[in-house]
Amino acid sequence: MLRNSVAVVRRSLSAARFPPSFNNLCYGRRQNADDMQIGVAATDDELTETICRLISRSRNPADLESALDSAVTARRRRRLSPALVLQVLKKLNVSGTAALLFFRWAERRSDFESTAVIYDALIESLCKIKQFKTVWILVDEMKSRGLLSRTTFALICRRLARARRAKETLEAFRKMKKTYGFTPQLQDYNSLLDSFAKSQQVGIAQALFDELKNRKKFTPDVKTYTILLEGWGRESNLLRLDEVRFEMRGDGLEPDVVSYGILIHVHCRAGKHDEAIRLYHEMEGKNLKPTPHIYCTLINALGSGKRLSEAIEFFELSKNGPFPIEAPTYNSVVGAYCWSNRMDDAFRIVEEMRNRGLGPNSRTYDVLLHHHSKLRRIDEAFVLFLRMGDEGSGCKPTLSTYTIMVRMFCNEGRMDMARFIWDGMKARGVLPGVHVFSAMIDGLCCNGGRVDECEEVSH
């Protein structure tokens, strides 16, 4: 068992020195992009990678078109399939200009015919870089080809709302009917409200809802009110949350299981655990079956609130519920035991997960590593980290994992080990996020002012 291996290695671990070859053993060899020759792709995935690499390296559009033609010809394709084009566009979804360039190349080929899904993928890419003028040109193209649908407008409104362009969002929604002939239905209004609510503009969503309802433009349903509940919940505004619930019931509508899940989550996050439990029992009294997500929410909240026995009660209830128990539920229980420093029980749950074929996964290890780090069990944490590779493909270290480990070693002044983890992360092709980068720089500066290494890491 995992915990039995700790004692075997902990005495020698602190003094261990790791040769360069150990990086390959623990992290695997970093793939060199030049190892993959253009034109010998055996699968769509490989051809997608080849195309994306060609686009990223290109400096001349004319040369790029020739290179793309050669790559597809070498694959001996009879036609350029929509599935392949969509796959490439999804890979380029944060590079709208490159996505548009590739799309126009595909369009010029006689063996390709675009679809609504492909256009929507391209529009999403362009929205991300705020190329909204180009987006409307594509919308006109879609209309002329009979590919335009409400889905496209929902996508554009969502992206405009995320860009905090409320006026343009409303104008895009009006265009749906005024310019393109789609009369808004309830699902369209709900989508518009959801776009504002999920982009931290629930106040706009609420004002719009009030206006539409007062002008009798639509009749809200449970989903409409659930969108507002979630929006005010994100703002942790319990007063407005209660007001929406009151109005919802005034319209003769009762919360469904999704609404209850949101209400329970919001109250748990606010530390109002007793109210969350009351809502759970109210939901059950209406013969609504709690979902695994609701159980996770309650177990997480009660566990972190040191109400372990109640957390375990909900875990047992989840086992007897109508839904199959899931890995996130087990991870919540592992965390609950960790919060009470009952590590043996946490590892027992990990073994139960393994026996049920539900894990452990990367999240399980992140929970364990986080709590070992808090307790300054450095050696045990490192053993756990090394054991992740033995668990299978679903248990590889993630950016979150590397962040926990780098921060832990930096806090302990073990910059040799922090650097070892950092180098392993880069070798695995995991790009450092702001938190792990900040932890590494702070650690180097606070432990000897190692400016040269700071510059090396920053590059």
Query: How does pLDDT run across 292-330, given as a tens digit for each residue?
Result: 999 999 999 999 999 999 999 999 999 998 899 999 999
For CA atoms 126, 130, 133, 136, the dihedral sign is: positive
Which amino acid is located at 76 in the chain? Answer: R
In the chain, how many domains are there? 3
What is the rounded distance in angstroms from the CA atom of residue 15 to the CA atom of residue 382?
Answer: 13
Domain coverage including residue 329: 255-359
> Does a structural domain hold residue 418?
yes
Confidence of residue 454 (pLDDT cuts 50, 70, 90): low
Domain containing 442 — which CATH number?
1.25.40.10
Q: Per mean pLDDT, which of 44-58, 80-94, 239-253 is the most reliable? A: 239-253
What is the rounded distance in angstroms from the CA atom of residue 151 to the CA atom of residue 118?
Answer: 12
382 with 422, same domain?
A: yes
274 with 343, same domain?
A: yes
- Structure-token pair, residue 90: 């999804």
Task: Tell me if residue 255 falls in helix, strand or coil.
Answer: coil
Among candidate residues 148, 170, 205, the one where a domain is terminated = 148
Residue 232 φ/ψ region, left for φ over 0, alpha for ψ in the -120 to 50 degree band, beta for the rest? alpha
> Does a structural domain hold residue 225?
no
Taking 60 as the threshold, does the pLDDT of residue 29 lie above it? no
381 with 352, same domain?
A: no
418 with 341, same domain?
A: no
Confidence of residue 19 (pLDDT cuts 50, 70, 90): very low
Taking 90 as the threshold, does the pLDDT of residue 152 lie above it? yes
> Does a structural domain hold residue 202?
no
Taking 70 as the threshold, does the pLDDT of residue 11 lie above it? no
Rg, C-alpha atoms of the chain? 27
> Does a structural domain hold residue 4?
no
69 with 119, same domain?
A: yes
Taking 90 as the threshold, does the pLDDT of residue 404 lie above it? yes
Condensed to tens digits (0 to 9), the pLDDT of residues 68-111 reads: 878 777 765 557 888 989 998 988 877 888 889 889 998 988 88
45 with 113, same domain?
A: yes
Confidence of residue 451 (pLDDT cuts 50, 70, 90): low
344 with 432, same domain?
A: no
What is the rounded distance in angstroms from the CA atom of residue 444 to the CA atom of residue 422?
Answer: 12
Taking 60 as the threshold, does the pLDDT of residue 39 lie above it? no
Check residue 111 and give its pLDDT: 82
345 with 398, same domain?
A: no
> Does a structural domain hold residue 355?
yes
45 with 132, same domain?
A: yes
- In angstroms, the Cα distances linking 221 to 40, 112, 213, 259 are 54, 42, 11, 12
Residues 6+ apart with CB under 8 A from 91: 48, 49, 52
- Structure-token pair, residue 235: 């703002």
Among candidate residues 306, 333, 359, the one where a domain is terminated = 359
What's this model's pTM, rounded to 2 decimal places? 0.80
What does 258-307 look like in DSSP terms, one character per residue? HHHHHHHHHHHHTT-HHHHHHHHHHHHHTTPPPPHHHHHHHHHHHHHTT-
Average pLDDT of the chain, as a whole number = 85
64 with 89, same domain?
A: yes
351 with 406, same domain?
A: no
> Does a structural domain hold residue 11?
no
400 with 296, same domain?
A: no
> Does a structural domain hold residue 286?
yes
Among candidate residues 301, 334, 359, the one where a domain is terminated = 359
> Does a structural domain hold residue 29?
no
Condensed to tens digits (0 to 9), the pLDDT of residues 376-392 reads: 999 999 999 999 878 77
Taking 80 as the threshold, does the pLDDT of residue 41 lie above it? no
What is the rounded distance in angstroms from the CA atom of residue 404 to the CA atom of residue 419?
Answer: 13
Mean pLDDT over 107-126 rounds to: 92
